[in-house]
Amino acid sequence: MLHLPQADGTLLRWQPSGSPIRPRAPARPLTRIAFAAAHVVADPLAPRSPWDGRPAIDWEATLRFRHWLWDQGFGLAEVMDTAQRGMGLDWETARELIGRTMAEARAHPARPRVACGAGTDQHELRDLTDLGRIEAAYRAQIEAIEGAGAQAIVMATRALPAIGAGPDDYAGLYRRLIAAADRPVILHWLGEMFDPALAGYWGTTDRAAATETVLGIINADPGRVDGIKVSLLDRAHEEDLRARLPAGVRLYTGDDYNYPELIAGDGRHHSDALLGIFAAIAPAAAQALEALAGGDLGRYHALMAPTVPLAHEIFAPPTRFYKAGVAFLSWINGLQQQFAMPSGMQSARGIVHYARLLQLADAAGLVLEGDLAVARMRALLILNGIAAP
């Protein structure tokens, strides 16, 4: 039994329901591509400040979490926003993580699919002053990713809005990057709710005009584009965009609010998935996707629906701090031994938020071991002066 702090300043008596969804491998092939974007676990014993220099990573825990996702049938989106790319994870550490992840993926029985984020963050933003420098930075990271055996995701970069790039600049740069890659790439449209520095991406703040730029880039060479990940939290826009994509080009939803309906589809089109929320709701999502593959839409929605309130809380504004919720649930469920994040990002959310996550995760069947969850949450409550030692 715990007394959990609530938004109105009261304490709620709470205990876990004891009805978890047990993680397991899918019983049939999935009919949706499902990438889970994974977080990284910091090493609190490393003799360095969490705010200075390269982050200290607990490699064993970080890789063990990836195996947990793979064991449930997910592909992996590596070194993306969920891994605190640009918010605590630098390129050199990201490159090391890519190498370690690919070694583990090659040894895993499922031979899981891995796609990795390519950006420009090996350079300081102030040094990326023109398109030539930005392109060279992108190419170097794409080459490193493909050299490691992974697929490249061309991440949105802060450098293009910073130099005031226009739609034609984006179109020319992206077409060159797509042509230069060894295999089809995944494009990446991340909204400013995830990173305020990306406001005006594609050279405009007009979403309709930005969409035309994106479609022009894809239509110029659709065979070289696997798909596009869209994280705008705008269901209607995503449905319109995916209906306009050329045949064979996928829409990977990054909408952590509307994912159940977007993945299920409208009878003509559906979204595949590249989602940070999947790292937090893996057992429910995996078994929902299994049900969808078997034609059981009722069970699909029954498993997915309780995860939506949890997703809304994890991704509540400021949305960019959602990674803290992913790491919290990993810790609560015993998937890592410490609630520590690069740059100390666990402090980006308050105790009321974490209490709410625990309640909502339990309601979705995602508190895997009740006694452990209670013990760990009690420790966090004590730290925050809410429970007695």
**For the chain, the helix, strand and coil percentages under 3-state DSSP, each to the nearest 5:** 50, 15, 40
pLDDT (0 to 100) of residue 49: 74
Residue 128 lies in a domain: yes
Residue 110 lies in a domain: yes
Which secondary-structure segment (H or E) carries 102? helix 91-107
Residue 5 lies in a domain: no
- Alpha carbon 337 to its chain centroid, in Å, reads 21
Three-class SS of residue 25?
Answer: coil
CA distances from 34 to 6, 246, 250, 341 (A): 34, 20, 12, 25
Q: How far apart are CA 260 and CA 277, in angstroms?
A: 11
Residue 257 lies in a domain: yes
Other Cβ atoms within 10 Å of 19 Cβ, number:
11
pLDDT (0 to 100) of residue 260: 98
Residue 365 lies in a domain: no
Asked if residue 318 has a cis previous peptide bond (ω within 30° of 0), the answer is yes
CA distances from 281 to 65, 78, 79, 276 (A): 13, 17, 19, 9
Among 27, 17, 20, 98, CA closest to 57: 98
Contacts of 64 (CB under 8 A, 6+ apart): 335, 336
Q: What is the pLDDT of residues 39-76, one digit of tens each?
A: 999 998 887 777 777 899 999 999 999 999 999 999 99
Residue 350 lies in a domain: no
CA distances from 331 to 39, 40, 337, 338, 354 (A): 12, 12, 6, 6, 12
Partners of 185 in beta bridges: 225
Give the CA-trace dihedral at 57, 41, 262, 229, to 10 degrees. Answer: -10
Residue 57 sits in a domain whose CATH number is 3.20.20.70
Residue 361 lies in a domain: no
Q: How far apart are CA 23 and CA 290, in angstroms?
A: 12
Q: How far apart are CA 119 and CA 334, in angstroms?
A: 32
pLDDT (0 to 100) of residue 167: 98
Task: Look up residue 29 and give its DSSP letter.
Answer: -
Strands 2-5 and 11-14: antiparallel
Please provide the size of the chain in residues: 389
Domain that holds residue 276: 29-296
Q: 78 near 117, Cβ under 8 Å?
A: yes
Tell me which residues of the chain have a pLDDT lower than 50.
none
Q: How many domains does the chain have?
A: 1
Residue 258 lies in a domain: yes
